[in-house]
Amino acid sequence: MTKTNFTRSCLMASAAIAACMMSAEIAYAADAPATVEAAPEPDAESPDAAGYGLTDITVTATKRETNLQQTPIAISVLSTQALEDRHVQSLYDLADGAVPSLRVATFEARQSALTVGIRGIVPLDANQPAREQGVGIYIDGVYLGRQHGLNAGLFDVERIEVLKGPQGTLFGRNTEGGALSIVTRAPSGEFGGRMSAGMGNYGAYNGDVHIDLPEYKGFSLKLDAVKQYQGATTKNPMAGQTGWNYYDRQGFRAAVRWQPTDNITNDFAYDVAKDQNSPFYSQLLNFNPNGCVAGTQAASPNCHLPGTAYTALTGTVRPPLPGVVVNGDSRMKTADIGVPQQPSVDKTHGFTNNLKWTISPQIELRSITAWRGVTATQWDNSGGAHRPPVVNLTAACTAAAPCAFSRYSLADLRQNQFSQELQAVGTVGPIDYVAGLYYFNEHVSDDAATPSSIGAVAVLNGAGAVTGANYVPIPYCTANTPLFVGAAVNGCSIDRASEVWSKSYSVYGQATWNATDAIHLTVGGRYTHDKKRGVLHFSRNVNYDATPPAASVGYQPLDQSWNRFNPMATLAFDATENVHLYAKYATGYRAGGASSRTSNYQQFNPEDIKSYEVGFKSDFFNHKARLNVAGYIMDRKNSQIDISSIQFVSGSSFNNLVTINAPGNTKIRGIEADLTVNPVQGLTLSASYAYTYTKIPPVQIAAATGLTPAVYQNFYIVFTPRNAASGAADYVVPVTDSGVKLRFHIDGNYAQATQAFDQFATKADASFIVNGRIALADIPVGSGNNRFTISAWARNLFDKQYVFRRDPSNSLPAAPTTSVTTGSIANVIGDYGNFNAPRTFGVEASVKF
């Protein structure tokens, strides 16, 4: 479908549906009996006199408080109640698809770093210090520079706003796909609070405390504390070692509001959190699925993945080790071979200061100052015996010299950032405006090693033939010891160590001209200057600081700057009091960087995006139904993609991930719809749908000598289902006149199968997850407004199993590379992947006072 046809279709569909909404509104009014005396007209934005109907939702997507329905941006909002009903404790709990166009996934199998995407902007490897995310994550207006630490326990969240589409004007760089804005509850200045405690299966327990202290001489204090624990869902047979899919989170936050005068409000907050977790278990899903044989691929024509056509690579197919289980059908409750596994540890802390000075009813000045820090220590042995190195078990594997396997991925990351933003928000006649200045400064360093952690010792019969194996731990990098110490640690080769300094400066402005009561024209722009410096300290255990790398490696430190102007324009039309249409043009960009996984610190350029969107928002049937629809076209230039590349250093080669820019335009097309209905008092039904089409142009790959014609590699946008949907039903039943009520909630979330790696056509599984909660709420306790609630909840209620991440790279002698070469790479074993979390359930009690 061409851009013109798609736009025409979206416009026609929007106009038709909007006309139906207006007709329904007129018809509803016309159906009222003419002979009945007219009752006082209810407020246009409130439920009707019957006592039920959909209420307003307030958002701050335009840097001012506005009604969601009157804001010409595609936004989904998760309220406090919605988060409670879905038992959302951290951002990863949104991975089931509560918002269909928002995709949350682990990086690799690790809960310690999350990949967050919106509308098909989902980077595969944003785990590197010099690589940026494609969706901005904000807490109380503060941008978080790294994906590490994002899975910490959530504090007292008032709402989560999901802004869809480029937000480059008001939110800046790295918001190509949109922004996820977390808004916490501010101090109220009145004594009160909430405490809750719960327990569940897998030894889970949780508790949180939120206390508001009364205002004193203009100061109001609020304290929040949270604790969340869950035992491993896949057990580790090795004694004393952590299992998989375990977490232990805790955090504390103090917020102080100072209001010295009626027109000045200063909110200061400090938070600290610790998240210990282990990755999801990586199972061997099949063995040699492509029928590879020893020797060249030419001898086995089926030995290649869809989208690849390499025939000159050679490899060895090795059988799984004794005891290794091939299981692609179900989630393993206990690993087949025990391996060393320690919890990864993320520690985050920082302060935020938000100052608002209302000079007059027409202008408010704001200052947002923040400093944040993250330290992350990664321990990932989820693959165990299921991924290279693959042992060739022979009599040579002895107790004195065990054959090493079980790659243990270890890494440290240290980050700190400072940001300062100044805003002016005001109104001059018919014009509403926002203007601002922004500064961001970040320093990140990391290091990594991948030692083998287990050794295989062959068991021989009397004739000297191998009949089995024993497995013994072998030394690896010591726990709690920084890896980057200028030399190998306990014999562990340092794969990489890098350091990056980034600065960003921007000035932005946006103005809305309210031409009439019904027509609103918004234009805006943001100018950004980014500067990034970076160095490699180590690569493949070569100390680049002490020994300048050989010229053949081609290493160059990163020292780049980029300038961008990102304009936007929106035309909004209030067709009726409750039907709002808009057309929007927006742009965004993601900064460039360098890949620390490569020996030459290979650099890549920024990517840019243009978006064209039309949509409408409507309330009808007297605010008992709400339908919002948006259709969009996005064209992304110089897409940053990740591909395995053969690197050469110190006379040897290795295969690793590198980021490159795809030529041409990546096409992203989509439609989103959100429907909410309140048909009878107490019952709310909601449904959301997202269709997302993506296409990256094929990338020409440098072929090995003698291979013709040139190879074109297909690429895919990861974790982006073509079709995704979510639905929920909430029913509130009054029990007593004192306000006690029963609350019933159930939601279902579907996502079509999609790729988990951008260079493989192989897809993970489709998913359908159901969550539920029932609560007896607001039971009076003692005198005053004290209320008690007890609830039972379940996530993945029907215990559905699906592979959310499938890696086919070990089903071939070598993964597709940017420099296809002949050679022998002995890694053929099979696909490995990760199943979703099993059913979890529990009970929780809370009291509000």
Residue 330 pLDDT class (50, 70, 90 cuts): very high
Rounded-to-integer distance, Cα 553 and Cα 120, Å: 35
Tell me the per-residue pLDDT of 118-155, one tens digit each, with 9 for 90 and over. 999 998 887 889 999 999 999 999 999 998 989 999 99
DSSP H or E run through 728: strand 723-734
Tell me the per-residue pLDDT of 2-24, one tens digit each, with 9 for 90 and over. 544 544 444 444 444 444 444 44
* Amino acid symbol at 437: L
Q: Which two tokens stand for residue 606?
A: 């920024």
90-104 b/e (C-beta count within 10 Å ≥ 16 → b): bbbbbbbbbbbbbbb
Backbone φ and ψ of 368, nearest 5° = -120, 110
Cβ atoms 699, 641 nearer than 8 A: yes
Per-residue confidence (pLDDT) for residue 621, from 0 to 100: 93
Q: 560 pLDDT exceeds 50?
A: yes
Residue 815 pLDDT class (50, 70, 90 cuts): very low
Per-residue confidence (pLDDT) for residue 749, from 0 to 100: 98
Sheet holding 466-473, edge to edge: 403-407, 452-460, 466-473
Q: 839 pLDDT exceeds 60?
A: yes
Residue 387 pLDDT class (50, 70, 90 cuts): confident
Tell me the per-residue pLDDT of 272-316, one tens digit each, with 9 for 90 and over. 999 999 999 999 999 888 777 765 554 566 665 554 555 555 566
Q: Is residue 565 part of a domain?
A: yes
- Count: domains in the chain: 1
CA 78 to chain centre: 15
Q: Which two tokens stand for residue 809?
A: 């790279």
Q: Is residue 360 part of a domain?
A: yes
Cβ atoms 380, 409 nearer than 8 A: yes
Contacts 24+ apart (CB under 8 A), 353-359: 353/266, 353/267, 353/268, 353/269, 354/140, 354/141, 354/266, 354/267, 354/268, 355/264, 355/265, 355/266, 355/267, 356/264, 356/265, 356/266, 357/263, 357/264, 358/263, 358/264, 359/263
Angstrom CA distances, 509 to 72, 363, 429, 547, stand at: 17, 15, 17, 48
Domain of residue 369, residue span? 3-246+257-594+612-848
Q: Is residue 252 part of a domain?
A: no
Q: Which range in 122-131, 450-459, 701-710, 761-770 is most confidently predicted, on average pLDDT?
A: 761-770
Residue 759 pLDDT class (50, 70, 90 cuts): confident
Q: Is residue 150 part of a domain?
A: yes
Three-class HEC string of 524-551 = EEEEEEEEEEEEEEEECCEECCCCCCCH
Backbone φ and ψ of 70, nearest 5° = -100, 10
Rounded to two decimals, the pTM is: 0.89
Per-residue confidence (pLDDT) for residue 25, from 0 to 100: 45
Rounded-to-integer distance, Cα 1 and Cα 5, Å: 6
Q: Is residue 646 part of a domain?
A: yes
Q: Is residue 421 part of a domain?
A: yes
Q: Which range in 386-395, 398-407, 809-818 is most confidently predicted, on average pLDDT?
A: 398-407
Residue 38: CA atoms inside 13 Å, Cβ hemisphere, count? 6
Q: 801 pLDDT exceeds 80?
A: yes
Rounded-to-integer distance, Cα 159 and Cα 66, Å: 14
Is the C-alpha dihedral spanning 183, 189, 190, 193 positive or negative?
A: positive
Where residue 78 sits, what CATH number does that domain have? Answer: 2.40.170.20
Q: Is residue 603 part of a domain?
A: no
Backbone φ and ψ of 655, nearest 5° = -105, 125
Percent of the chain residues topping a pLDDT of 70: 84
Q: Which two tokens stand for residue 36?
A: 């009945």
Choice between 233 and 52, residue whose per-residue pLDDT is larger = 233
Per-residue confidence (pLDDT) for residue 297, from 0 to 100: 52
314-327 b/e (C-beta count within 10 Å ≥ 16 → b): bbbbbebbbebebe
Is the C-alpha dihedral spanning 750, 753, 754, 757 positive or negative?
A: positive
Q: Is residue 57 part of a domain?
A: yes
Give the largest CA-CA distance in the chain.
104
